[in-house]
Amino acid sequence: IRYIYQDNKGPSSARNMGIKNSTGSFIAFLDSDDMWLPTKLSIQMKLMRECSSLGLVSCGIYDINIRGEIVKEFIRRNYFNKECLLKDLIVHNVIVGSSSAALVRKECFNKVGLFDESLRTSEDWDMWLRIVKYYDIRFIEAPLVKLRINPKSKSSPPNVKKVFQSELIMLDKIFIEYAPEAKPSVR
């Protein structure tokens, strides 16, 4: 285990620092208020080893309250084809669980780049869109991560404006990438 310290520059910067300093072939993220179930990595790694075209394997999640009680379950079913996944991912982040649910091949970051440090939220959505252009993505339908729902989290009411601003940046990126002719002009 290596501990790397840096001043708080947001989740993208922290993830990028970890990626740059990693030596393995796979990257898994675990945000400070989230928990992996004991079998998460072994189940995801089995799928990664079976299919070399996979760039990312995600899983279902449980939302838990501050007492650790499950309050909601999110399951994402696999898509029949990449185009259907891309269409849904363009509309909203269908890869639930922040980054804590994802296991990513390190080579993906060499191909698509690192997390966008200008985004304070939605940075994972941006990354998944870039990965799906070149790699397949699969979902383990079982919840393998617990996400603690905290009233002070990024998506809480006082922070909604910041979330909305990042989502607007993301929508702008999506228009530029996928439908530049459809982007409304601002006067």
Span 149-164, mean pLDDT? 64
Q: Tell me: the pLDDT tens digits for 62-93?
A: 999 989 999 999 998 899 889 899 989 888 88
Of 101 and 76, the structure prediction assigns the larger pLDDT to 101
Q: Tell me: the pLDDT tens digits for 106-139?
A: 999 999 999 999 888 889 999 999 999 999 999 9
Can you tell me the distance from the alpha carbon of 147 to that of 96, in angstroms, rounded to the nearest whole number?
A: 10
Question: Is residue 183 pLDDT above 60, yes or no?
Answer: no
- Amino acid identity at 33: D
Span 46-59, mean pLDDT? 96
Span 128-155, mean pLDDT? 87
Band (26; pLDDT cuts 50, 70, 90): very high
> 68 with 46: CB under 8 angstroms?
no
* Sequence-distant (≥ 6) Cβ neighbours of residue 158 within 8 angstroms: 152
Identify the sign of the CA torsion 91, 94, 95, 98: positive
pTM of the prediction?
0.85
Phi-psi region of 48 (alpha: psi -120 to 50; beta: other; left: phi over 0): alpha
CA distances, 97 to each of 23, 36, 65 (Å): 24, 11, 15
| DSSP assignments along the chain, one per residue | ----------HHHHHHHHHHH--SSEEE---TTEEE-TTHHHHHHHHHHH-TTEEEEEEEEEEE-TTS-EEEEE--PPPSSHHHHHHHHHHS--S-STTTT-EEEHHHHHHH-S--TT-SSSHHHHHHHHHHTTSEEEEEEEEEEEEE--TTSTTSGGGHHHHHHHHHHHHHHHHHHH-GGGPPPP-
Of 169 and 10, the structure prediction assigns the larger pLDDT to 10
